[in-house]
């Protein structure tokens, strides 16, 4: 384990940056490339004014960016409207009711965990939450117009699936026709599980397979076994092209150690305990911040941006001052993890 502390590139949201989209305060920002090439970033709880609370509460919301802007900081080109106003892309009412089977459940918010493009379709995995850390269930939504509109697929998973470790998710397509996903709970108190599903059967819960130990042998279809112990939050798994071969990058917010780590993997089933690891951002107090040296107060997130390489790794990182409710924003950081190999 080594430090490869990241440097801030830009603030991505907040006053002077996303006002025209009706976004003052927001967080998260997991991003993928749409079928026609533009970038689609999905954010969590969003408010019209800078900070948390007040008018215009919605989640999730979507912004679009130009791929060429990644090196210098995402340049927003539009939003999932109408017009320029970034609307809520999942239909529900905050602190309203939604139905699970025969029961109505009180829902405070619906939060995105990751977004994925497969062919001409985009898929958004979200957590339907009673409150932060309390998940009713998770579900999939699909866009067939590059992230502008989203419809429910009807695919849902109960919050207690796999002992509650199939709530927060990150996923990526392999070169073999499978989508691989790492999951954990939404309490920042659990380790990681690994799954796969044929990319043609993403919406079929029965097609998902777990990776686990049977005796002393790992295999697909075995009962799920933790692939990494810890107390983890936001996750981001992405396959990148580097030196004419594929590498897999896993960025994880480690709540126990108050930092964001990046692991470089040869493939999705690589042993996470021994994979090359770099700490790229460290949490700190508000008086000790240094965004030029990777020290960020109340940090979380850490989503790998499309176009990243080991030498030019770009991450979307969130920050929320829970005492004053500002800053509450997403930022872009850059680092180099190529020396891990």
Q: What is the pLDDT of residues 117-164, one digit of tens each?
A: 999 999 999 999 999 999 999 999 999 999 999 999 999 999 999 999
91 SS3 class: coil
Task: Round to whole Å and give the CA distance between 165 and 211.
Answer: 13
Question: Contact 196/269 with Cβ under 8 angstroms?
Answer: no
Reported as a single tens digit per residue, the pLDDT across 242-281 is 877 899 999 999 999 999 999 999 999 999 999 999 999 9
The mean predicted confidence, pLDDT, of the chain is 97
Per-residue pLDDT band at 284 (split at 50, 70, 90): very high
pLDDT in tens, 292-321: 999 999 999 999 999 999 999 999 999 999
Cβ contact 310:324 at 8 Å: no
The model carries a pTM of 0.98
Mean pLDDT, to the nearest integer, of 49-54? Answer: 97
Decide: helix, strand or coil at residue 142: strand
Distances (CA, A) of 107 to 78, 80, 274: 28, 22, 40
User: Could you report the per-residue pLDDT of 176-207, keeping only the tens digit for each?
Assistant: 999 999 999 999 999 999 999 999 999 999 99
Distance CA 291, CA 298 (A): 12
Residues 12-40 have a mean pLDDT of: 98
Q: What is the pLDDT of residue 231?
A: 98
- In CATH, which superfamily holds the domain spanning 2-340? Glycosyl hydrolase domain; family 43 (2.115.10.20)
Q: How far, in Å, CA of 311 to CA of 315, rounded?
A: 13
Asked whether residue 116 carries a pLDDT value surpassing 90, the answer given is yes
**pLDDT for the residue 241:** 86
20: left (phi over 0), alpha (psi -120 to 50) or beta: alpha
Residue 78 has pLDDT above 90, yes or no: yes
CA distance 95 to 181: 30
Interior angle at CA 234, CA 119 and CA 313, nearest 5: 70
* Alpha carbon distance 237, 304 (integer Å): 8
Q: Are 304 and 249 in contact (CB under 8 A)?
A: yes
At 174, is the pLDDT very low, low, confident or very high (cuts 50, 70, 90)? very high
Contact 44, 337 (CB under 8 A): no
Q: What DSSP line would sit under 18-71, residue for residue? A: SGGGT-SB--EEEEEE-TTS-EEEEE-SBBSSSSSSSS--BS-EEEEE-GGGGG
**Sole residue written with tokens 């692991």:** 263
Q: For residue range 90-101, list pLDDT tens digits in order.
A: 999 999 999 999
Q: Is the pLDDT score of 20 beyond 90?
A: yes
Task: Give the pLDDT of residue 242.
Answer: 82
Confidence of residue 9 (pLDDT cuts 50, 70, 90): very high
Q: Is the pLDDT of residue 1 over 80?
A: no
pLDDT of residue 244: 79
Tokens of 20: 């025209």
φ, ψ (nearest 5 deg) of residue 240: -125, 155
């Amino acid at each position: 384990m080594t430090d490869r502390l990241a440097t801030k590139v830009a603030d991505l949201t907040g006053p002077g940056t996303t006002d025209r989209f009706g976004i003052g305060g927001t967080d998260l920002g997991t991003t993928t490339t749409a079928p026609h090439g533009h970038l689609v970033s999905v954010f969590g709880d969003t408010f019209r004014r800078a900070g948390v609370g007040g008018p215009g509460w919605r989640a999730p919301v979507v912004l679009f960016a130009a791929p060429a802007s990644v090196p210098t900081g995402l340049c927003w080109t539009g939003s999932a409207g109408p017009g320029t106003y970034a609307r809520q892309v999942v239909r529900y009412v905050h602190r309203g009711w939604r139905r699970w089977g025969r029961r109505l459940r009180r829902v405070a918010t619906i939060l995105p965990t990751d977004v994925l493009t497969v062919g001409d379709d985009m898929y958004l995995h979200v957590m339907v939450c009673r409150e932060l850390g309390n998940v009713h269930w998770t579900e999939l939504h699909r866009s067939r117009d590059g992230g502008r509109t989203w419809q429910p697929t009807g695919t849902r998973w109960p919050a207690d699936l796999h002992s509650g470790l199939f709530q927060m998710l990150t996923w990526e397509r392999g070169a073999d026709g499978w989508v691989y996903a790492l999951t954990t709970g939404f309490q920042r108190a659990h380790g990681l599980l690994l799954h796969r599903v044929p990319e043609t059967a993403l919406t079929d819960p029965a097609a998902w397979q777990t990776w686990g130990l049977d005796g002393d042998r790992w295999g697909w279809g075995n009962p799920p076994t933790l692939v990494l112990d810890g107390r983890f939050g936001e996750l981001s798994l992405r396959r990148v092209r580097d030196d004419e071969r594929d590498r897999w990058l896993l960025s994880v917010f480690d709540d126990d150690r108050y930092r964001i780590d990046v692991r470089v993997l040869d493939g999705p089933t690589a042993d996470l305990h021994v994979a090359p690891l770099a700490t790229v951002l460290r949490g700190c107090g508000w008086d000790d911040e240094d965004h030029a040296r990777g020290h960020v107060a109340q940090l979380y997130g850490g989503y790998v941006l499309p176009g990243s390489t080991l030498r030019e790794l770009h991450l979307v990182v969130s920050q929320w001052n829970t005492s004053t409710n500002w800053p509450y924003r997403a930022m872009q950081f850059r680092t180099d993890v190529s020396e891990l190999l």
